[in-house]
Amino acid sequence: MPREKQNGRTTDDFKKFRNEMNEEILGGGHLGIKRLFALDHQAYEPGALGTKTKELLGLVDSAVLPCDDRITCHVVRCAEEGWKRDEVIDALNVALIVGGSIVIPHARRAFARMREILGLQP
């Protein structure tokens, strides 16, 4: 089944681009950038909260802030961590309540990514 395109990119395209750019950015050797990337990675490691919960929190945060790339990243990670669609939808409801109507377009993007990941028909 062909992957649905969002903003001209499939989730696979997004992952490839993200990985390539992260390698280029980190390959530059800037200590401050490396530290921020490491801190971002470490924030999602298990602690008092597990990685699964932290990914769902990251999705809500990315919807409220809003950041399309992070929404895609966290929707993918939520699926990998085992969150069910109805659980992600419930978390996006929290994002909508916290962020208001500005979050609606980003909720749409999250829904489109979930549809793509789950192979659902539009």
5-50 tens-digit pLDDT: 555 678 888 889 989 999 999 999 999 999 999 999 999 999 999 9
pLDDT-based confidence at residue 66 (cuts at 50, 70, 90): confident
Name the token pair of 19.
């990985």
Candidates 80, 39, 78; CA nearest to 62 is: 78
Global pTM? Answer: 0.82
pLDDT of 3 = 47
pLDDT of 8 = 62
Domains and CATH numbers, the chain: 10-43 (no CATH), 47-122 (1.20.1290.10)
Name the token pair of 48.
């008092």
